[in-house]
Amino acid sequence: MPVALDDRQRFGLWRDLYAAQYGLLDFTRAEDRPFAAHLEFAQFGPVATGRFEGAVTRARRTRYELRRDARDELFLFFNCGHSSVEVRQCGRGLVVQPGGSALLNYYEPGDCLHGQDHRWTAFTVERHRLQSLIRNVEDLVAMPLDSQSEAMTHLQRYARFLSEEGAAGEDSALTEHIGNSLLDLIALAIGPNRDAIELARMRGLRAARLRAVLAQIEAHFGDPEFSLDSIVKQQQLSARYVQSLLQDSGCGFTERVAELRLQKARRMLIDIRHERMAIGDIAGACGFTDAAYFTRRFRMRFGLSPTGFRAQLPSRDEAII
């Protein structure tokens, strides 16, 4: 940065550059030392990796900022510093100790408070990528993870390897392969159900067909007319075979579609861009044809009616990581 800038100006310029390159975040810098920050970032197919070290004590986004910078992504980070990190998201609070990890997202209210030693390694993945591998993945946000598991250990080692200069090279096929390997590892590391395990173990034609089926469900679950027959016709497979594929992943067609619709409704209720949208209209936009049925399913899944859920959301000035 230009040497003529004072410490406050350096921080302001860095924050603007970060927002332009990686997304809108509101950072708070440490006041007890000169500002300095170092970030490494790389994209490997479906997975972005990053390493950060700097004099930053807080990172947040308000609901108002989300309207300006909508990002449908999940963020798995490892606390590489010597101080704990406090995260708050989805109404949960979690203290991530040194060496620990947490899954966060970029689209719900929350906050992230760092100690004096702010260092992390992270992987960012589009929500639908992980949702196709891990059933109810959003339930894992700001929840304790087993940071000592074998998959987590391999994931951290892989991250250190990729940070070495030239580790990936310029081969697009190689970077895509690395990204898919990372995605499998992430799913194994944080996915406590059969989805991630089966998809990581399956190879060849059956794995490819399952991924195609899950992708079609992700693309069309909001259509009220979408059915198992739609998949059978599109994929040119038998209904029994499709059902077998889905059962291997740990969740059948009906429940998987219902969960996707409910999670979309939850995100729409949170999104300030839809704050004036009627509950019935949100239900319809998510594929529910019966508003009363939608309300019952939403209450069963999240413990509140859609109206009650919307009423307890934080104001636009409260934070989001």
202-316: what CATH class?
A: mainly alpha
Distance CA(77)–CA(147), nearest Å, equals 11
Query: What residue has token string 């219902």?
Result: 258
The per-residue pLDDT for range 88-144, each reduced to its tens digit, is 998 899 999 999 999 999 988 789 999 888 999 999 999 988 887 887 888 899 999
Q: Is the pLDDT of residue 20 over 50?
A: yes
Q: Coil, strand or helix: which one is 135?
A: coil
pLDDT attached to residue 158: 86
The per-residue pLDDT for range 109-122, each reduced to its tens digit, is 789 999 888 999 99
Superfamily of domain 7-193: Jelly Rolls (2.60.120.10)
> In a 10 Å sphere around its CB, with 0-12 CB exposed, 13-18 middle and 19+ buried, how is residue 243 labelled?
middle
Evaluate whether 138 touches 100 at the Cβ level (below 8 Å).
no
Establish whether domains 7-193 and 202-316 are of one fold: no
The per-residue pLDDT for range 213-257, each reduced to its tens digit, is 988 999 999 999 999 999 999 999 999 999 998 887 778 999 999
Query: Which residues make Cβ contacts (< 8 Å) with residue 317, sequence separation at least 6?
Result: 62, 64
Confidence category of residue 202, pLDDT binned at 50, 70, 90: low
If one counts every other C-beta atom within 10 angstroms of the C-beta of residue 198, the result is: 18
The residues spanned by each domain of the chain are: 7-193, 202-316
**Reduced to 3 DSSP states, what percent helix, strand and coil does the chain have, rounded to the nearest 5?**
45, 20, 35
Task: Determine how β-strand 47-54 pairs with β-strand 37-44.
Answer: antiparallel
Distance CA(134)–CA(132), nearest Å, equals 6
The per-residue pLDDT for range 153-177, each reduced to its tens digit, is 989 888 888 877 555 567 788 888 8
Evaluate whether 134 touches 195 at the Cβ level (below 8 Å).
yes
Residue 246, beta-bridge partner list:
none
- Using a cut of 0.85, tell me whether the model's pTM lies above it: no
